[in-house]
A and B are shown apart, each in its own frame.
Chain A
Amino acid sequence: MIFWQQVINGLTLGSIYALVALGYTMVYGIMELINFAHGDVVMVGALIALTLTQWFMQQGLGFPLSLLLASGLSICVCMLLGWVIERVAYRPLRTAPKLAPLITAIGLSLLLQQLAALIWGKSYLPFPGNLEGSSYAWHGIVISSLQLSIFILSLLLMFLLWQLVHHTKLGRAMRSTAQSVPFAQLMGVNTNQVISQTFIIGSALAAVAGVMDVMYYSVGNYTMGFLLGLKAFTAAVLGGIGNLKGAMLGGLLLGVLEALGAGYIGDITHGIMGSNYKDVFAFFVLILVLIFRPNGLLGSNNQEKV
């Protein structure tokens, strides 16, 4: 029973990782760049939603409506943020050596964190409203309505993204830009615009993931994006970076692995290591994947050519 309970918890967590991982993987697929600031966009989305929900509730609106309005606004802010990040920090460095955008990315991540620390302070902020909700029990396994809605909403968003990438004009432009920027340009694709739109979509997903994360743990903090970002990146690598299905699968898998690991590590090591090591799992998964299957579970094997 504990096993299945941990699987349920893991799937919830995993669907949040998957949403964030999609942002990493889309950007990597198109520009071959790790957007380090992505985790901090998640944090900004979470904290804005948290503050605005509180504010709307103080204005006398009900909790569901406040949450909806706050999430909508936070998604808009994050989309804008994603656009600005790409425009200011990555676009001028499109032709520069690889090291340069990586360094600006880490700088931006730090900048977002510190600005958030200035705005929201350094303490842990509680999420307003009663999130207990109803829960469903089935053979001793308990699923809360929050877990269920996180899971279903994530699947829905992933499905929509899949449709967008594979069945719309923008999606076709994204896929062609990912294959080759100059060729996509020759075919009449405005690649700069496509890259901007990719960042915007990724940031919107990040904002949703941020709202989910802050509700699931019911606290928010200016550093919350760092570990979440690291884990989501691991999920993207696990599934095969640049591959949408891979990010979804990798996210869910990593969530389950982590939940099971945290649940059983005490028993396996006879109490030598406790669940305080749970954050280490993602990292070991990352190293193992990189050693044994560097292209990820679903990634294709593309060798660098002259």
Chain B
Amino acid sequence: MKKSLPLIVLACLLPWLVYVFIGQSWVRILDFSLLYLMLSLGLNVVVGYAGLLDLGYIAFFAVGAYSYALLSSPQFGLHWPLLVILPIGALCAGVFGVLLGAPTLRLKGDYLAIVTLGFGEIIRIFLNNLSTPINITNGPQGISEIDPLHVGSFVFNHSSALMGISVPSVIHIYYLFLLAVIVTIVFSYRLEKSRVGRAWMAIREDELAASCVGIHTKRYKLLAFGLGATMGGLSGGLFAGFQEFVSPESFTLMESVMILCMVVLGGMGHIPGVIVGSLLLSVLPELLRESAGWQKSLLGSVWVDPANLRLIMFALALVIMMLLRPEGLIPSSVRKKELHHE
């Protein structure tokens, strides 16, 4: 933990450096990467620790985001405080996770993958269609005018002045998300080293052997699934408050795959790996966005749409990592041995 102090100091200074030298839009990108980092850490509990492939993880993010949106927007005229809604959103997502996991976790892992994949789509279909007969989600238009993230009278989404220096809103958000990320990291780290974490790793390595030494595998798998969902729900709430707008468009299968990609690229089950993976994959696509310009200057026209290029890159990353380095860029020693045994 001592080693991480310089990193935390760097993380605190980073937004100012970026703000001064590059610009405000890149601080916003940093905010999003922190959000993705939280999601990856949540998925890491499910995929990395317990070894369960969840392909609909974004659905829990959606549940969290819509919980926030419904409880603090003109949609129902409710404006509950942040510190009440965030836990509610996380809880809702957790409940969804348990509801989905309970029937499917009894089965082999591959079923879980396809059921979660379906679940992600179903949630989106419901979000898109629950505008009639009672308007709950406002359909494809989504919910707008959501209350910004605020505690008391302090609004994170507005800029403030501190000792004569004006602090832009994106930096407030950055610190709020950084705090959430640090809490998540400490939580994940403690989980990993706990009895629960060891049980998950035993299940991941050999479920049959784990149950033979007295681990209640179904219960532990459900716990991993529920906790992962809860973390997804929490970041969903923060996302809704940050954007002040949610729509079903943000919760597609591609987002689930992208988060999976972050976890796989960095190193499943290893927190430093997950951090590197998610930061890499949330910043790189932004650079690719500018590739349209290079393509134009080099080849005369835009050959490959940057959005496609981004997804092709993710797809290749998934396949190539699994073939060449399944343990990820920065692997944990245990996972490495596990993935290379014959």
A174 to chain B minimum Cβ distance, whole angstroms, is 20
Q: Mark A97-120, 1 if CB is under 8 A from B, else 0.
A: 111111110111011011101100
B114 touches A233 (CB 8 A): yes
The reply to whether the CB of B127 lies closer than 8 angstroms to some CB of chain A is no
Known: A103-B53, A107-B322. A96 touches B339 (CB 8 A): yes
Question: Count of chain A residues with Cβ under 8 Å from any Cβ of B?
Answer: 50
CB nearest to A278 among chain B residues: B125
In the complex the two chains form, what is the Cα distance from A237 to B257 in whole Å? Answer: 23
Scan residues 192-238 of chain A and give those whose CB is less than 8 A from a CB of chain B: 226-227, 230, 233-234, 237
Say whether, besides A100-B339, A276-B129, A283-B118, A34 and B319 are in contact (CB < 8 Å).
no
Give a binary string over B110-139; 1 marks a CB under 8 Å from any A CB, 0 the rest: 110111011101100110010011000000
Nearest neighbor of B111 in chain A, beta-carbon distance: A290
Q: Give B27-83 interface residues, CB cut-off 8 Å to A.
A: 47, 51, 53, 55
Would A290 and B319 be within 8 Å (CB), given that A102-B113, A118-B304 are in contact?
no
Q: Is the CB of B121 within 8 A of A230?
A: yes
| Cβ-based interface call for B107 (8 A) | yes
A290 vs B108: C-alpha distance when bound (angstroms)? 11
Bound-complex Cα distance A97 to B264 (A): 14
Interface residues on B, range: 35 or more
Q: Report A-chain residues with C-beta under 8 Å of the C-beta of B312.
A: 111, 114-115, 118
- Is the CB of B290 closer than 8 A to any CB of chain A? no
Write out, one digit per residue, whether chain A residues 280-306 have a CB within 8 A of any chain B CB (1) or not (0). Answer: 101100110011001000000000101
Interface membership of A133, Cβ < 8 A: no
In contact, A286 and B133 (Cβ under 8 angstroms) = no
Cβ of B300 < 8 Å from any Cβ of A?
A: no
Instruction: Give min CB distance, B47 to chain A, whole Å.
Output: 7
Chain B residues numbered 190-249 whose CB sits less than 8 Å from any CB in chain A: 208, 212
Closest to B311 in A: A114
Tell whether A110 pairs with B315 under 8 Å between CB atoms, given A99-B47, A103-B260, A283-B118.
yes
B318 and A34 within 8 A (CB)? no
Determine which of A97, A107, A287 lies in contact with B339 in the assembled complex, contact meaning CB atoms within 8 Å: A97
A93 touches B323 (CB 8 A): yes
On chain A, the residues within 8 Å of B113 by CB distance are 34, 36, 102, 106
Q: Is A187 on the interface with B (CB-CB < 8 A)?
A: no
Q: Is the CB of A290 within 8 A of B115?
A: yes
| B118 partner residues in chain A, CB cutoff 8 A | 230, 234, 282-283, 286
Across-interface contacts of A110 in B (CB, < 8 A): 254, 257, 311, 314-315, 318
Report the Cα distance A99→B326, complex, angstroms: 10
Docked-complex contact A287 and B103, CB < 8 angstroms: yes
| A97-B114 contact given A110-B315, A290-B107, CB 8 Å threshold | no
- The interface residues of chain A lying within 8 Å CB-to-CB of B339 are 96-97, 100
Separation in Å of the A41 CB from the closest CB of chain B? 15
Asked if A89 is an interface residue, CB under 8 A from chain B, the answer is: yes
B271-320 residues at the A interface, CB under 8 angstroms = 304-305, 308, 311-312, 314-319
The answer to whether B106 has its CB under 8 Å from any CB of chain A is: yes
Assembled-state Cα–Cα distance A286/B104 (Å)? 10
A36 to B339 Cα, complex, angstroms? 21
Chain A residues 69 to 103 lying within 8 A of chain B, measured CB to CB, are 89, 92-93, 95-103
B338's partner among A93, A97, A103 (CB-CB below 8 A) is: A97
* 26 residue pairs bridging A and B, Cβ less than 8 Å apart: A93-B322, A93-B323, A96-B326, A97-B338, A97-B339, A98-B109, A102-B109, A103-B322, A104-B322, A107-B317, A107-B322, A110-B315, A111-B316, A114-B308, A114-B315, A118-B308, A118-B312, A230-B117, A230-B118, A274-B129, A280-B122, A286-B114, A287-B104, A287-B115, A306-B208, A306-B212
Task: List chain B positions with a Cβ less than 8 A from chain A.
Answer: 47, 51, 53, 55, 103-104, 106-107, 109-111, 113-115, 117-119, 121-122, 125-126, 129, 132-133, 208, 212, 253-254, 257, 260, 264, 268, 304-305, 308, 311-312, 314-319, 322-323, 326, 338-339, 342
Known: A98-B110, A117-B308. 10 other contacts (CB 8 A): A97-B51, A100-B322, A101-B322, A102-B109, A104-B319, A108-B319, A230-B117, A237-B111, A280-B122, A290-B107
Among all A-B residue pairs, the 5 with the closest Cβ atoms: A107-B318, A111-B315, A110-B315, A107-B319, A283-B118
